[in-house]
Structure 1
Protein backbone atom coordinates (compact mmCIF):
# COMPACT_ATOMS: atom_id res chain seq x y z
CA UNK A 1 0.00 0.00 0.00
CA UNK A 2 1.28 3.47 -0.88
CA UNK A 3 2.81 5.63 1.83
CA UNK A 4 1.07 9.01 1.96
CA UNK A 5 2.86 10.64 4.90
CA UNK A 6 6.11 9.97 6.74
CA UNK A 7 7.51 11.93 9.67
CA UNK A 8 11.01 11.04 10.85
CA UNK A 9 12.33 12.74 13.98
CA UNK A 10 10.22 15.88 13.62
CA UNK A 11 11.19 18.58 16.09
CA UNK A 12 9.85 22.11 16.41
CA UNK A 13 11.31 24.93 18.47
CA UNK A 14 10.28 28.55 18.87
CA UNK A 15 12.53 31.56 19.57
CA UNK A 16 15.47 29.60 18.16
CA UNK A 17 18.85 30.96 19.17
CA UNK A 18 17.48 33.10 22.01
CA UNK A 19 17.62 32.54 25.79
CA UNK A 20 13.92 31.60 25.72
CA UNK A 21 14.20 28.98 22.97
CA UNK A 22 11.52 26.35 23.58
CA UNK A 23 11.14 22.98 21.88
CA UNK A 24 7.51 21.84 21.67
CA UNK A 25 7.87 18.73 19.49
CA UNK A 26 10.59 16.29 20.51
CA UNK A 27 11.22 13.85 17.69
CA UNK A 28 7.90 12.71 16.23
CA UNK A 29 7.87 9.58 14.05
CA UNK A 30 4.64 8.78 12.23
CA UNK A 31 3.63 7.04 9.02
CA UNK A 32 0.27 7.07 7.25
CA UNK A 33 -0.61 4.72 4.41
CA UNK A 34 -3.27 5.15 1.77
CA UNK A 35 -6.73 4.43 3.23
CA UNK A 36 -5.61 5.01 6.83
CA UNK A 37 -8.14 6.70 9.12
CA UNK A 38 -6.25 7.95 12.17
CA UNK A 39 -7.38 9.84 15.25
CA UNK A 40 -4.82 12.19 16.82
CA UNK A 41 -5.59 12.83 20.47
CA UNK A 42 -3.96 14.61 23.39
CA UNK A 43 -4.56 17.27 26.04
CA UNK A 44 -4.47 20.98 25.28
CA UNK A 45 -0.89 22.18 24.96
CA UNK A 46 0.38 18.74 23.99
CA UNK A 47 1.66 19.88 20.58
CA UNK A 48 -1.22 18.59 18.42
CA UNK A 49 -1.84 21.91 16.68
CA UNK A 50 1.86 22.47 16.02
CA UNK A 51 2.15 18.97 14.59
CA UNK A 52 -0.93 19.46 12.41
CA UNK A 53 0.46 22.74 11.04
CA UNK A 54 3.70 20.99 10.11
CA UNK A 55 1.92 18.03 8.47
CA UNK A 56 -0.29 20.49 6.59
CA UNK A 57 2.83 22.30 5.28
CA UNK A 58 1.71 25.51 7.00
CA UNK A 59 4.88 25.55 9.11
CA UNK A 60 8.31 23.99 8.77
CA UNK A 61 9.92 21.75 11.38
CA UNK A 62 13.13 22.82 13.08
CA UNK A 63 14.61 19.36 12.46
CA UNK A 64 13.57 16.03 11.01
CA UNK A 65 12.15 14.86 7.70
CA UNK A 66 8.60 15.14 6.39
CA UNK A 67 7.63 13.38 3.16
CA UNK A 68 4.32 13.58 1.30
CA UNK A 69 3.81 10.78 -1.23
CA UNK A 70 7.52 10.04 -0.96
CA UNK A 71 8.59 13.63 -1.70
CA UNK A 72 10.92 15.20 0.87
CA UNK A 73 9.28 18.54 1.63
CA UNK A 74 12.47 19.88 3.20
CA UNK A 75 13.89 20.16 -0.32
CA UNK A 76 11.04 22.37 -1.55
CA UNK A 77 10.85 26.15 -1.71
CA UNK A 78 7.81 28.09 -0.57
CA UNK A 79 6.11 28.12 -3.99
CA UNK A 80 6.52 24.37 -4.45
CA UNK A 81 5.27 23.75 -0.90
CA UNK A 82 2.19 25.85 -1.60
CA UNK A 83 1.47 23.90 -4.78
CA UNK A 84 1.96 20.55 -3.03
CA UNK A 85 -0.29 21.60 -0.16
CA UNK A 86 -3.04 22.69 -2.54
CA UNK A 87 -3.00 19.49 -4.53
CA UNK A 88 -2.13 16.76 -2.03
CA UNK A 89 -3.80 17.92 1.21
CA UNK A 90 -7.37 18.86 2.04
CA UNK A 91 -8.36 20.68 5.23
CA UNK A 92 -11.50 20.52 7.36
CA UNK A 93 -11.59 22.70 10.47
CA UNK A 94 -13.78 22.96 13.56
CA UNK A 95 -15.28 26.10 12.04
CA UNK A 96 -16.10 25.63 8.38
CA UNK A 97 -14.48 28.90 7.11
CA UNK A 98 -16.84 29.11 4.15
CA UNK A 99 -17.26 32.43 2.35
CA UNK A 100 -20.71 33.34 3.64
CA UNK A 101 -21.86 35.32 0.59
CA UNK A 102 -20.81 32.56 -1.84
CA UNK A 103 -23.02 29.64 -2.78
CA UNK A 104 -22.19 26.10 -1.76
CA UNK A 105 -20.99 25.41 -5.31
CA UNK A 106 -18.76 28.50 -5.36
CA UNK A 107 -17.19 27.56 -2.02
CA UNK A 108 -16.37 24.07 -3.25
CA UNK A 109 -14.83 25.55 -6.42
CA UNK A 110 -12.40 27.77 -4.48
CA UNK A 111 -9.41 25.35 -4.25
CA UNK A 112 -9.68 24.65 -7.99
CA UNK A 113 -9.89 28.35 -8.73
CA UNK A 114 -6.79 29.05 -6.66
CA UNK A 115 -4.94 26.28 -8.50
CA UNK A 116 -6.04 27.15 -12.05
CA UNK A 117 -6.65 30.88 -11.91
CA UNK A 118 -10.10 31.19 -13.45
CA UNK A 119 -13.39 29.29 -13.31
CA UNK A 120 -14.58 26.94 -16.02
CA UNK A 121 -17.37 24.44 -16.59
CA UNK A 122 -15.21 21.51 -15.47
CA UNK A 123 -14.87 23.11 -12.02
CA UNK A 124 -18.62 23.53 -11.79
CA UNK A 125 -19.18 19.88 -12.73
CA UNK A 126 -16.63 18.76 -10.16
CA UNK A 127 -18.23 20.91 -7.46
CA UNK A 128 -21.69 19.57 -8.31
CA UNK A 129 -20.42 15.98 -8.19
CA UNK A 130 -18.94 16.54 -4.73
CA UNK A 131 -22.04 18.29 -3.41
CA UNK A 132 -24.08 15.35 -4.66
CA UNK A 133 -21.67 13.03 -2.83
CA UNK A 134 -22.16 14.85 0.47
CA UNK A 135 -25.94 14.96 -0.01
CA UNK A 136 -26.31 18.66 -0.82
CA UNK A 137 -27.32 18.76 -4.49
CA UNK A 138 -30.51 20.64 -3.64
CA UNK A 139 -28.56 23.30 -1.76
CA UNK A 140 -25.77 23.95 -4.27
CA UNK A 141 -27.08 27.44 -5.09
CA UNK A 142 -27.77 28.35 -1.46
CA UNK A 143 -25.46 30.88 0.12
CA UNK A 144 -23.33 29.41 2.88
CA UNK A 145 -24.96 31.61 5.52
CA UNK A 146 -28.34 30.12 4.59
CA UNK A 147 -27.40 26.58 5.65
CA UNK A 148 -27.34 24.69 8.93
CA UNK A 149 -24.08 23.99 10.77
CA UNK A 150 -24.09 20.38 9.66
CA UNK A 151 -24.73 21.38 6.04
CA UNK A 152 -21.94 23.95 6.16
CA UNK A 153 -19.50 21.33 7.43
CA UNK A 154 -20.56 19.01 4.59
CA UNK A 155 -19.76 21.79 2.14
CA UNK A 156 -16.37 22.16 3.86
CA UNK A 157 -15.72 18.44 3.36
CA UNK A 158 -16.67 18.72 -0.32
CA UNK A 159 -14.29 21.68 -0.63
CA UNK A 160 -11.51 19.67 1.02
CA UNK A 161 -11.98 16.99 -1.65
CA UNK A 162 -12.07 19.37 -4.60
CA UNK A 163 -8.48 18.68 -5.67
CA UNK A 164 -8.82 14.93 -4.99
CA UNK A 165 -6.16 15.04 -2.24
CA UNK A 166 -4.41 11.96 -0.93
CA UNK A 167 -4.60 13.24 2.65
CA UNK A 168 -7.34 15.12 4.49
CA UNK A 169 -6.50 16.82 7.80
CA UNK A 170 -9.61 17.31 9.93
CA UNK A 171 -9.10 19.46 13.02
CA UNK A 172 -12.00 18.92 15.46
CA UNK A 173 -14.41 18.80 12.49
CA UNK A 174 -17.40 17.91 14.67
CA UNK A 175 -16.56 20.18 17.60
CA UNK A 176 -19.20 22.83 16.82
CA UNK A 177 -21.99 20.41 15.88
CA UNK A 178 -24.83 18.79 17.78
CA UNK A 179 -24.57 15.04 18.38
CA UNK A 180 -26.66 14.00 15.34
CA UNK A 181 -24.86 16.34 12.93
CA UNK A 182 -21.48 15.30 14.35
CA UNK A 183 -22.30 11.65 13.81
CA UNK A 184 -23.47 12.33 10.24
CA UNK A 185 -20.32 14.31 9.38
CA UNK A 186 -18.05 11.63 10.84
CA UNK A 187 -19.93 8.90 8.95
CA UNK A 188 -19.52 10.87 5.72
CA UNK A 189 -15.75 11.15 6.18
CA UNK A 190 -15.57 7.44 6.95
CA UNK A 191 -17.52 6.58 3.79
CA UNK A 192 -15.23 8.75 1.66
CA UNK A 193 -12.20 7.09 3.25
CA UNK A 194 -13.51 3.64 2.38
CA UNK A 195 -14.91 4.43 -1.07
CA UNK A 196 -12.19 6.71 -2.43
CA UNK A 197 -9.21 5.47 -0.43
CA UNK A 198 -8.55 8.99 0.89
CA UNK A 199 -6.33 9.03 3.98
CA UNK A 200 -7.75 10.94 6.96
CA UNK A 201 -5.96 12.33 10.01
CA UNK A 202 -8.60 13.45 12.49
CA UNK A 203 -7.82 15.57 15.55
CA UNK A 204 -10.52 15.03 18.15
CA UNK A 205 -11.20 15.07 21.88
CA UNK A 206 -14.21 12.81 21.35
CA UNK A 207 -13.40 9.32 22.64
CA UNK A 208 -16.44 7.80 20.93
CA UNK A 209 -15.42 9.11 17.51
CA UNK A 210 -11.79 8.13 18.04
CA UNK A 211 -12.88 4.58 18.86
CA UNK A 212 -14.43 4.37 15.39
CA UNK A 213 -11.12 5.17 13.69
CA UNK A 214 -8.60 2.55 12.54
CA UNK A 215 -5.74 3.95 14.61
CA UNK A 216 -5.43 6.25 17.62
CA UNK A 217 -2.21 8.15 18.24
CA UNK A 218 -1.84 10.07 21.50
CA UNK A 219 0.47 13.07 21.81
CA UNK A 220 1.53 14.22 25.27
CA UNK A 221 4.11 16.94 25.96
CA UNK A 222 5.39 16.92 22.38
CA UNK A 223 6.00 13.18 22.04
CA UNK A 224 3.89 10.27 20.87
CA UNK A 225 2.83 8.65 24.12
CA UNK A 226 1.03 5.68 22.63
CA UNK A 227 -0.77 4.18 19.66
CA UNK A 228 -3.59 1.69 19.40
CA UNK A 229 -6.30 0.38 17.10
Structure 2
Protein backbone atom coordinates (compact mmCIF):
# COMPACT_ATOMS: atom_id res chain seq x y z
CA UNK A 1 0.00 0.00 0.00
CA UNK A 2 1.43 3.37 -1.05
CA UNK A 3 2.05 6.21 1.37
CA UNK A 4 0.08 9.42 0.99
CA UNK A 5 2.54 11.14 3.33
CA UNK A 6 5.83 10.03 4.81
CA UNK A 7 7.89 11.99 7.32
CA UNK A 8 11.51 11.05 7.93
CA UNK A 9 13.41 12.65 10.80
CA UNK A 10 11.28 15.79 10.86
CA UNK A 11 12.52 18.43 13.31
CA UNK A 12 11.16 21.92 13.79
CA UNK A 13 12.81 24.74 15.71
CA UNK A 14 11.80 28.34 16.23
CA UNK A 15 14.11 31.35 16.68
CA UNK A 16 16.91 29.40 15.01
CA UNK A 17 20.34 30.85 15.81
CA UNK A 18 19.05 32.96 18.69
CA UNK A 19 19.51 32.36 22.41
CA UNK A 20 15.78 31.60 22.56
CA UNK A 21 15.98 28.83 19.93
CA UNK A 22 13.50 26.10 20.79
CA UNK A 23 13.03 22.73 19.11
CA UNK A 24 9.40 21.64 19.25
CA UNK A 25 9.51 18.55 17.01
CA UNK A 26 12.27 16.01 17.53
CA UNK A 27 12.92 13.52 14.73
CA UNK A 28 9.36 12.62 13.73
CA UNK A 29 9.00 9.48 11.60
CA UNK A 30 5.45 8.86 10.41
CA UNK A 31 3.64 7.41 7.41
CA UNK A 32 -0.01 7.60 6.43
CA UNK A 33 -1.15 5.05 3.87
CA UNK A 34 -3.68 5.43 1.08
CA UNK A 35 -7.20 5.18 2.42
CA UNK A 36 -6.23 5.41 6.10
CA UNK A 37 -8.32 7.30 8.64
CA UNK A 38 -5.97 8.30 11.45
CA UNK A 39 -6.41 10.32 14.63
CA UNK A 40 -3.62 12.55 15.92
CA UNK A 41 -3.80 13.09 19.68
CA UNK A 42 -1.69 14.62 22.43
CA UNK A 43 -1.81 17.18 25.21
CA UNK A 44 -1.80 20.93 24.54
CA UNK A 45 1.69 22.08 23.63
CA UNK A 46 2.78 18.64 22.49
CA UNK A 47 3.51 19.75 18.91
CA UNK A 48 0.35 18.49 17.16
CA UNK A 49 -0.45 21.80 15.47
CA UNK A 50 3.15 22.30 14.36
CA UNK A 51 3.19 18.79 12.92
CA UNK A 52 -0.12 19.34 11.13
CA UNK A 53 1.16 22.61 9.65
CA UNK A 54 4.24 20.84 8.28
CA UNK A 55 2.21 17.96 6.82
CA UNK A 56 -0.16 20.52 5.29
CA UNK A 57 2.76 22.43 3.70
CA UNK A 58 1.84 25.53 5.67
CA UNK A 59 5.24 25.50 7.36
CA UNK A 60 8.60 23.93 6.56
CA UNK A 61 10.62 21.68 8.84
CA UNK A 62 14.02 22.77 10.09
CA UNK A 63 15.39 19.38 9.04
CA UNK A 64 14.12 16.06 7.81
CA UNK A 65 12.15 15.07 4.73
CA UNK A 66 8.43 15.17 3.93
CA UNK A 67 7.08 13.15 1.03
CA UNK A 68 3.60 13.87 -0.38
CA UNK A 69 2.33 11.14 -2.71
CA UNK A 70 5.94 10.04 -3.12
CA UNK A 71 7.24 13.51 -4.01
CA UNK A 72 10.10 14.91 -1.94
CA UNK A 73 8.96 18.39 -0.91
CA UNK A 74 12.32 19.44 0.55
CA UNK A 75 13.61 21.36 -2.45
CA UNK A 76 10.33 22.66 -3.81
CA UNK A 77 10.00 26.42 -4.16
CA UNK A 78 7.14 28.43 -2.73
CA UNK A 79 5.09 28.37 -5.95
CA UNK A 80 5.41 24.60 -6.30
CA UNK A 81 4.54 24.12 -2.62
CA UNK A 82 1.41 26.26 -3.05
CA UNK A 83 0.31 24.26 -6.10
CA UNK A 84 0.94 20.90 -4.44
CA UNK A 85 -0.89 21.97 -1.28
CA UNK A 86 -3.90 23.19 -3.25
CA UNK A 87 -4.22 20.02 -5.30
CA UNK A 88 -3.13 17.23 -2.95
CA UNK A 89 -4.43 18.37 0.45
CA UNK A 90 -7.84 19.47 1.71
CA UNK A 91 -8.29 21.27 5.03
CA UNK A 92 -11.12 21.22 7.57
CA UNK A 93 -10.70 23.33 10.70
CA UNK A 94 -12.51 23.66 14.01
CA UNK A 95 -14.01 26.89 12.71
CA UNK A 96 -15.22 26.38 9.16
CA UNK A 97 -13.74 29.61 7.69
CA UNK A 98 -16.45 29.87 5.06
CA UNK A 99 -16.81 33.19 3.26
CA UNK A 100 -19.95 34.54 4.90
CA UNK A 101 -21.03 36.64 1.91
CA UNK A 102 -20.90 33.58 -0.38
CA UNK A 103 -23.46 30.84 -0.81
CA UNK A 104 -22.67 27.22 0.04
CA UNK A 105 -22.15 26.56 -3.67
CA UNK A 106 -19.82 29.52 -4.12
CA UNK A 107 -17.72 28.46 -1.14
CA UNK A 108 -17.21 25.00 -2.63
CA UNK A 109 -16.31 26.44 -6.05
CA UNK A 110 -13.63 28.74 -4.58
CA UNK A 111 -10.66 26.28 -4.40
CA UNK A 112 -11.20 25.28 -8.04
CA UNK A 113 -11.48 28.93 -9.09
CA UNK A 114 -8.23 29.80 -7.28
CA UNK A 115 -6.47 26.89 -9.00
CA UNK A 116 -7.73 27.52 -12.53
CA UNK A 117 -8.19 31.29 -12.49
CA UNK A 118 -11.56 31.37 -14.26
CA UNK A 119 -14.95 29.75 -13.72
CA UNK A 120 -16.31 27.02 -15.96
CA UNK A 121 -19.21 24.58 -16.11
CA UNK A 122 -17.12 21.68 -14.78
CA UNK A 123 -16.54 23.58 -11.53
CA UNK A 124 -20.25 24.21 -11.16
CA UNK A 125 -21.05 20.54 -11.68
CA UNK A 126 -18.33 19.44 -9.27
CA UNK A 127 -19.61 21.77 -6.54
CA UNK A 128 -23.17 20.54 -7.03
CA UNK A 129 -22.04 16.90 -6.85
CA UNK A 130 -20.13 17.52 -3.62
CA UNK A 131 -23.01 19.39 -1.98
CA UNK A 132 -25.26 16.48 -2.89
CA UNK A 133 -22.68 14.08 -1.44
CA UNK A 134 -22.71 15.89 1.93
CA UNK A 135 -26.52 16.17 1.89
CA UNK A 136 -26.82 19.91 1.28
CA UNK A 137 -28.22 20.24 -2.23
CA UNK A 138 -31.32 22.08 -1.02
CA UNK A 139 -29.09 24.62 0.77
CA UNK A 140 -27.00 25.23 -2.37
CA UNK A 141 -27.90 28.90 -2.66
CA UNK A 142 -28.09 29.74 1.04
CA UNK A 143 -25.49 32.14 2.41
CA UNK A 144 -23.03 30.54 4.81
CA UNK A 145 -24.44 32.60 7.69
CA UNK A 146 -27.95 31.24 7.09
CA UNK A 147 -27.28 27.57 7.78
CA UNK A 148 -26.51 25.73 11.02
CA UNK A 149 -23.05 25.05 12.44
CA UNK A 150 -23.20 21.41 11.45
CA UNK A 151 -24.26 22.35 7.92
CA UNK A 152 -21.46 24.90 7.70
CA UNK A 153 -18.95 22.21 8.60
CA UNK A 154 -20.45 19.97 5.90
CA UNK A 155 -19.90 22.77 3.39
CA UNK A 156 -16.31 23.03 4.65
CA UNK A 157 -15.86 19.30 4.04
CA UNK A 158 -17.28 19.62 0.53
CA UNK A 159 -14.90 22.53 -0.10
CA UNK A 160 -11.97 20.43 1.18
CA UNK A 161 -12.84 17.77 -1.42
CA UNK A 162 -13.22 20.19 -4.32
CA UNK A 163 -9.79 19.46 -5.82
CA UNK A 164 -10.16 15.71 -5.19
CA UNK A 165 -7.20 15.62 -2.77
CA UNK A 166 -5.56 12.39 -1.70
CA UNK A 167 -5.40 13.68 1.90
CA UNK A 168 -7.70 15.71 4.13
CA UNK A 169 -6.26 17.29 7.28
CA UNK A 170 -8.89 18.03 9.90
CA UNK A 171 -7.98 20.10 12.98
CA UNK A 172 -10.58 19.59 15.72
CA UNK A 173 -13.34 19.47 13.05
CA UNK A 174 -16.09 18.73 15.59
CA UNK A 175 -14.80 20.94 18.39
CA UNK A 176 -17.40 23.69 17.93
CA UNK A 177 -20.38 21.36 17.45
CA UNK A 178 -22.90 19.80 19.79
CA UNK A 179 -22.61 16.04 20.27
CA UNK A 180 -25.27 15.14 17.69
CA UNK A 181 -23.78 17.39 14.99
CA UNK A 182 -20.26 16.26 15.89
CA UNK A 183 -21.22 12.62 15.42
CA UNK A 184 -22.89 13.39 12.08
CA UNK A 185 -19.84 15.28 10.79
CA UNK A 186 -17.50 12.51 11.93
CA UNK A 187 -19.63 9.86 10.23
CA UNK A 188 -19.68 11.93 7.03
CA UNK A 189 -15.87 12.06 6.98
CA UNK A 190 -15.73 8.33 7.69
CA UNK A 191 -18.12 7.62 4.81
CA UNK A 192 -16.07 9.78 2.44
CA UNK A 193 -12.97 7.87 3.54
CA UNK A 194 -14.56 4.49 2.91
CA UNK A 195 -16.47 5.30 -0.27
CA UNK A 196 -13.94 7.57 -1.99
CA UNK A 197 -10.69 6.25 -0.53
CA UNK A 198 -9.63 9.70 0.68
CA UNK A 199 -7.08 9.56 3.50
CA UNK A 200 -7.80 11.57 6.66
CA UNK A 201 -5.52 12.79 9.44
CA UNK A 202 -7.67 14.21 12.23
CA UNK A 203 -6.45 16.16 15.26
CA UNK A 204 -8.88 15.63 18.10
CA UNK A 205 -9.05 15.66 21.88
CA UNK A 206 -12.15 13.47 21.76
CA UNK A 207 -11.02 9.94 22.63
CA UNK A 208 -14.43 8.48 21.75
CA UNK A 209 -14.11 9.79 18.19
CA UNK A 210 -10.43 8.90 17.95
CA UNK A 211 -11.17 5.30 18.88
CA UNK A 212 -13.47 5.06 15.85
CA UNK A 213 -10.49 5.70 13.55
CA UNK A 214 -8.20 3.07 12.00
CA UNK A 215 -5.40 3.96 14.40
CA UNK A 216 -4.31 6.67 16.82
CA UNK A 217 -0.97 8.47 16.64
CA UNK A 218 -0.02 10.14 19.91
CA UNK A 219 2.37 13.11 20.10
CA UNK A 220 4.02 13.81 23.45
CA UNK A 221 6.68 16.51 23.93
CA UNK A 222 7.33 16.77 20.21
CA UNK A 223 7.83 13.05 19.66
CA UNK A 224 5.66 10.20 18.46
CA UNK A 225 4.72 8.17 21.51
CA UNK A 226 5.31 4.45 21.35
CA UNK A 227 2.08 3.85 23.22
CA UNK A 228 -0.55 1.92 21.26
CA UNK A 229 -4.05 3.24 21.92
CA UNK A 230 -6.64 0.66 20.86
CA UNK A 231 -9.35 1.65 18.40
CA UNK A 232 -12.83 0.26 18.00
CA UNK A 233 -13.12 0.62 14.26
CA UNK A 234 -9.75 -0.57 12.94
CA UNK A 235 -9.92 -2.32 9.62
TM-score (norm 1): 0.99
Equivalent position of 2:93 in the other structure:
93
Shift of 1:119: 1.0
Name the structure 2 match of 1:10: 10
Q: Equivalent residues in 2 for 1:135-150 (5 A)? A: 135-150=135-150
Give 4+ residue runs of structure 1 displaced > 4 Å after superposition: none
Q: Please report how far the alpha carbon of residue 118 of structure 1 lies from its aligned counterpart in structure 2 after TM superposition.
A: 1.1
Q: What is the CA–CA distance in structure 2 between the aligned matches of 1:69 and 1:113, rounded to whole Å?
A: 23
Aligned residue for 1:172?
A: 172
Structure 2 runs not aligned, ≥5 long? none
**1:82 aligned residue:** 82
Whole-Å Cα distance in 2 between the matches of residues 57 and 136 of structure 1?
30
**Pairs within 5 Å for 1:102-141:** 102-141=102-141
Match of 1:181 in 2: 181
Residue 121 of structure 1: CA displacement?
1.1
Determine helix, strand or coil for the equivalent of 2:225. strand
Once the two structures are superposed, residues 144-179 of structure 1 have per-residue CA deviations (whole angstroms, 9 ceiling, x without a partner) of 000000000000000000000000000000000000
TM superposition shift of 1:185: 0.2
Cα distance in structure 1, aligned partners of 2:100 and 2:34: 33
Task: Tell me the residue number matched to 1:68.
Answer: 68
SS of equivalent to 1:75: coil
5+ residue gaps, structure 1, are: none
- Identify the residue that residue 213 of structure 1 maps to in structure 2: 213
For 1:103 and 1:121, the matched residues in 2 are separated by 17
Query: In the alignment, which residue of structure 1 is the partner of 2:198?
Result: 198
TM-score by length of 2: 0.96
**Structure 1 residue matching 2:174: 3-state secondary structure:** coil
RMSD over aligned Cα atoms: 0.7
Distance 1:63 1:181 in 2: 40
